[in-house]
Amino acid sequence: MSIEQLDLHWALGDTGWAWLTWTADDDVVEIRTSYLDHGLLSLMRAAVDLKRGSSATIAQLSGEPSAHFFLFRTAVEQVSVDVVYVPDLYAADRWTGAELRWTGETHVDVVTQAVLSMAQAVWDEHGAAGYQRLWDGKAFPEEELRVLSGEHP
């Protein structure tokens, strides 16, 4: 499935929890994630990898004990994305019961711009101190925001 529009929304909830809403054209995937890993940072680093021309990258959002993996693979200017749910990240065979929640492809710029818009909205709403308070002491990924916005190569 080739998508034209990707909209991402990161909503911080109770301390240490957030919701990612991934809307690709008319498909919506909602993911609850925890501070156990730094999901926003992981998505932003994946977008930075794509912006810099990486042929593949991955992002992980932990749901305690579940997780979602975002697998990105590029060819020319297109990127294929698979969103895979793993029911127990800590199981001996964590891929048992894994489920493909979404798959599609789009232009690399669509993904990087969607991640940038999402991250900028989080920054605008919470700033450094608010984010750190709600994300169990983890700092907002300011460097990745600068790279995605074009301030650093």
Predicted TM-score (pTM) of this structure: 0.95
**Domain count within the chain:** 1
Q: CATH number for the domain including 131?
A: 3.30.2450
**Tens of each residue's pLDDT in the chain, 153 residues:** 689 899 999 999 877 899 999 999 999 999 999 988 899 999 999 999 999 999 999 999 999 999 999 999 999 889 999 999 999 999 999 999 999 999 999 999 999 999 999 999 999 999 999 999 999 899 999 999 999 999 876
Longest dimension (CA), the chain: 42
Query: Across the chain, where does the E strand assignment appear?
Result: 6-12, 17-24, 27-34, 56-62, 67-75, 78-86, 99-107
Residue 19 lies in a domain: yes
Supply the pLDDT for residue 153: 64
Residue 153 lies in a domain: no
